[in-house]
Amino acid sequence: MPSSQDAVATPKAGQPIALITGASTGIGYELALLLARDGYRLVLVSRDPARLEAAAVSLRREVPGAVVETRTADLADPEETHAACAFAAGLAPDILINNAGFGGYGPFARSSVAEEQAMIATNITALTLLAKAVLPAMLERGSGRMLNVGSTASFAPGPFSAVYAATKAYVLSLSEALSEETRGSGVTVTALCPGPTHTRFADRASIGGTRAFNGPIADARSVAAEGYAALMAGKPVVVTGLVNKLLIFGARLLPRTLVARISRRELTPPSGS
Ligand SMILES: NC(=O)c1ccc[n+]([C@@H]2O[C@H](COP(=O)([O-])OP(=O)(O)OC[C@H]3O[C@@H](n4cnc5c(N)ncnc54)[C@H](OP(=O)(O)O)[C@@H]3O)[C@@H](O)[C@H]2O)c1
């Protein structure tokens, strides 16, 4: 797991540390920017070294004096995840943002097993192991915050994106459980659940042609701002955007079979059945 130390600014004594996975682009980058503005020393983790370095350069430019360190890790890879967890445990960050993740699209019977194993490893296994790596030190200190990025897909089955939706249901369930386990300890755990958002996500998941991504789409900056406010307030769950909040409220009241039907419609092309 190679690393590049910020060449310009060095950490100040006592400077709080935030570890952010998937910070090279999209929602993770915007969360990193908010943390930099609030004076956190940033440690960014993601796969692609060039995108990661570009993000670090951009953050240092947007926030002069920001302390930004990068570490490449493919969180779909068990050994690299193990190394990232050992690093995270040693770092003992004040904030962990478990944001790295990706989706997929297509009928379950024909979708790629390798892709779905990588998705489960990244969205579920790495997120869980990183949470486990940092929580003991947070609890011992009696302070710390964790943000796990779920989705509106956390609340509904996802026909044609079945494995992705299932991974995000896991993220919500784990986060809600940890939020309750840590209640009163000084440590908070928050699940951030965005709806469709303009990032590289839709292209990577090949999901851009669906109804869900052909309606109103949020921007990563506003999603991150809502998530950041909830993180700092220690809220257990935040669904971003008014329309998504209303949809999720409705989904909680309707029978699951009906929710799955509506979800199926959203996950087919506007011209599809
Ligand atoms: N955009 C949406 O519509 C939407 C909606 C709901 C939830 N979300 C969730 O929001 C989170 C952030 O996604 P985004 O929308 O900001 O998409 P994005 O722009 O594609 O960013 C994803 C980030 O995760 C990193 N990542 C992906 N796979 C990784 C792996 N195996 N190991 C390490 N890092 C990995 C990427 O790094 P590399 O560039 O190095 O691959 C990138 O930094 C994800 O968990 C996603 O599921 C997104």
In this prediction, residue 52 carries a pLDDT of 97
CA of 203 to the centre of ligand 1 (A): 11
Say which residues have a Cβ less than 8 Å from residue 234's Cβ, sequence separation at least 6. 145, 188, 190
Alpha carbons 1 and 103: distance in angstroms, whole number: 24
Q: Which of 19, 42, 46, 105 to mutate to test the pocket of ligand 1 (most atoms within 8 A of CB)?
A: 46
Kindly report, residue by residue over 133-187, the tens digit of the pLDDT: 999 999 999 999 999 999 999 999 999 999 999 999 999 999 999 999 999 999 9
Residue of the CA atom closest to atom 25 of ligand 1: 22
Distance (angstroms) between ligand 1 centre and the Cα of 141 equals: 30
Catalytic annotation present for 164: yes
**What domains are there in the chain, each with its CATH number?**
3-266 (3.40.50.720)
Strand partners, 45: 21, 71
Cα-based distances in Å from 205 to 30, 74, 230, 272: 20, 17, 27, 18
* Active-site annotation holder among 29, 40, 105, 164: 164
pLDDT, residue 271, reads 75
| Ligand 1 centroid – CA 46 distance (Å) | 9
Comparing C-alpha atoms, which of 9, 20, 182 is closest to residue 88?
20
Please give the number of the atom of ligand 1 that sits closest to the Cα of 164. 47
The SS3 call for residue 61 is helix
Tokens (6 digits) for 111? 């979708």
* Enclosing H/E stretch for 135: helix 127-141
- Among 176, 196, 194, which Cα is nearest to 240's? 194
Decide the pairing of beta strands 237-239 and 187-193. Answer: parallel
Angle value at C-alpha 106, between 121 and 80, nearest 5 degrees: 15
189 torsion bin: left (phi>0), alpha (psi -120 to 50), beta (else): beta
Give percent helix, percent strand, percent coil of the chain, each to the nearest 5: 50, 15, 35
Which of 197, 214, 239 should be mutated for ligand 1, with most atoms under 8 A from CB? 197
Q: How confident is the model over 103-126, as pLDDT tens digits?
A: 999 999 999 999 999 999 999 999
* CA 102 – ligand 1 centroid, Å: 5
Is pLDDT at 7 greater than 70 in this prediction? no
pLDDT score, position 3: 47
Nearest-angstrom CA–CA distance, 122 and 98: 10
The predicted pLDDT at position 272 comes to: 52
